[in-house]
Structures are given as structure tokens and as C-alpha cells.
């Protein structure tokens, strides 16, 4: 179980999300938390701790719920760092506060802007100092394949790309189906769908 400061922020965000789900018309779509489920957070937390992950890249941060689970997992690692991207400035303000309250802001570097543009710049500029252990894809569903292809060279061999909303909501299956076909035809990737909450695709880079 995460440390109590972290847990109380996670619970606060879970309460916000529950309220939004029960009162869908009261909150603008653009202001909704739209976070991974708690079990998915625990799942990635266990995975990242066991991988001894240090460098994480997140595409689609929202208010920082998944980021806090990741931060908890890397908090015992020397030089642990999460780069997380979002284009919505209001979400970024809320995430900053959540990271601060959880005591993990020192582990997080927020990048504001369009994810594909930011990733392309990272890929162009990087001499692969940023060799990520784990990348989490959770932004606009129609661009998952582009995100995957852009981050793959920045993932270390043995690193994992996780992608959310593979099974649910069903309206996203028109994007997740081609994503699954794309990742599974890559001979350097071993990939599996984990049927937890909204469905996670875990893709391991073999070499
Ligand atoms: C599902 S939410 C992320 C939830 C977060 N990973 C969590 O579990 O707590 C998706 C986020 O992606 C952001 N987003 C969508 N399209 C984007 C894009 N093209 N560039 C950057 N951010 C984007 C949205 O602003 C939103 O905050």
C-alpha cells in the first residue's frame, strides 16, 4: 500500500472520478479526470517495482492519477524520473497540485503541448540519453499507432509499452483493434492484452 500522503491523493481523485461517473452532466467532458482504474494503478505499480523501472514516459497525464502510481513505484530508485505530457493547461495545474500534495513532484517533469509534436522533438533531439524503461500511452486513441512507432526507438530492450482503453469503452475498439494488429506484427515485440478495468496492452521490446 502506498504511503499515506500518496494514498490520500489517490483516494481524493478516485472520489472526483466517482462523482463524475454518477453525475455525468454536471462536469464538462474536458474537465473530467478520466483516469485509469485503481486496479490498473496497482497492476502497473507492481510491474514497475519488479522491473526496477527508473525512467518512465507518459502520453496523456490528465490530473496525474496514473502518474502518482508510477511515482510511487519508482520512489526507491536512485535517479527515478517520469516525463509526462498533456496539452490541457487546466489539467496540468490540477496535476501539479496532486503531485505536490502526494509528495512526488520532484520525480515528475511535465511537458505541455501536443504529444506527437513533443515526442517527435524528443526523438529528433535525443542521443538516447532518454532510454525509457516504460512508456504509457493514454492520450487520443486514434494516434496510438503513431505514438507507439515514435517511442519505440526510445524504449530500452526489455522495456514495456503499456496502452490503456484496449477493451473499453467499446467505442474505442475501432482504434484499439488496428493498434493490436500493428504491435503484434512486429517481430521484435511480444504483446498481450490484460483484461483489467478498461484493458491494458503490454508490449515488451525484445532486443
Ligand atoms: C484518459 S486521460 C489520461 C489519464 C491519465 N493517464 C490517468 O490515468 O490518470 C487523456 C489525457 O490526454 C490528453 N491528451 C489528449 N490528446 C492529447 C494530445 N494530442 N497531446 C497531449 N495530450 C493529449 C488529454 O488532455 C487528457 O488529459
Q: Which structural domain, as residue segments, surrounds residue 188? A: 4-205
Cα distance between residue 103 and residue 97, in whole Å: 10
Determine the distance separating the centroid of ligand 1 and the alpha carbon of 204, expressed in angstroms. Answer: 23
* 36 pocket-lining for ligand 1 (C-beta < 6 Å): yes
CB neighbours of residue 206 within 10 Å: 10
pLDDT of the chain, 207 residues: tens digit per residue: 678 999 999 999 999 999 999 998 888 988 999 999 999 999 999 999 999 999 999 999 999 999 999 999 999 999 999 999 999 999 999 999 999 999 999 999 999 999 999 999 999 886 655 699 999 999 999 999 999 999 999 999 999 999 999 999 999 999 999 999 999 999 999 999 999 999 999 999 999
* 140 pocket-lining for ligand 1 (C-beta < 6 Å): yes
CB 161 within 8 Å of CB 174: no
Closest ligand 1 atom to the C-alpha of 115?
20
* 191 pocket-lining for ligand 1 (C-beta < 6 Å): no
DSSP E strands, 62-145: 81-86, 108-112, 132-137
Question: Per residue in 187-199, pLDDT tens?
Answer: 999 999 999 999 9
CATH code for the domain in which residue 167 is found = 3.40.50.150
CB 57 within 8 Å of CB 151: yes
Determine the distance separating the centroid of ligand 1 and the alpha carbon of 34, expressed in angstroms. Answer: 8
* 65 pocket-lining for ligand 1 (C-beta < 6 Å): yes
- Report pLDDT for 1: 64
How many domains, in total, are found in the chain?
Answer: 1
Cα distance between residue 201 and residue 207, in whole Å: 19
Amino acid at each position: 500500500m502506498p504511503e499515506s500522503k500518496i494514498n490520500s491523493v489517490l483516494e481524493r481523485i478516485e472520489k472526483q472520478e466517482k462523482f463524475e461517473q454518477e453525475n455525468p452532466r454536471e462536469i464538462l467532458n474536458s474537465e473530467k479526470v478520466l483516469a485509469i482504474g485503481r486496479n490498473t494503478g496497482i497492476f502497473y505499480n507492481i510491474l514497475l517495482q519488479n522491473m526496477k523501472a527508473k525512467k518512465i514516459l507518459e502520453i496523456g497525464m490528465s490530473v496525474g492519477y496514473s502518474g502518482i502510481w508510477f511515482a510511487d513505484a519508482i520512489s526507491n530508485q536512485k535517479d527515478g524520473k517520469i516525463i509526462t505530457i498533456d496539452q490541457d493547461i487546466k489539467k496540468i495545474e490540477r496535476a501539479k497540485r496532486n503531485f505536490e500534495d502526494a509528495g512526488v513532484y520532484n520525480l515528475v517533469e511535465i511537458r505541455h503541448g501536443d504529444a506527437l509534436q513533443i515526442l517527435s522533438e524528443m526523438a529528433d533531439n535525443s542521443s538516447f540519453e532518454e532510454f525509457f524503461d516504460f512508456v504509457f500511452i493514454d492520450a487520443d486513441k486514434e494516434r496510438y499507432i503513431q505514438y507507439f512507432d515514435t517511442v519505440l526507438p526510445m524504449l530500452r530492450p526489455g522495456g514495456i509499452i503499456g496502452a490503456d482503453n484496449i477493451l473499453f469503452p467499446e467505442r474505442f475498439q475501432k482504434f484499439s483493434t488496428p493498434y493490436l494488429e500493428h504491435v503484434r506484427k512486429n517481430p521484435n515485440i511480444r504483446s498481450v492484452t490484460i483484461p483489467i478495468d478498461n484493458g491494458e496492452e503490454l508490449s515488451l521490446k525484445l532486443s
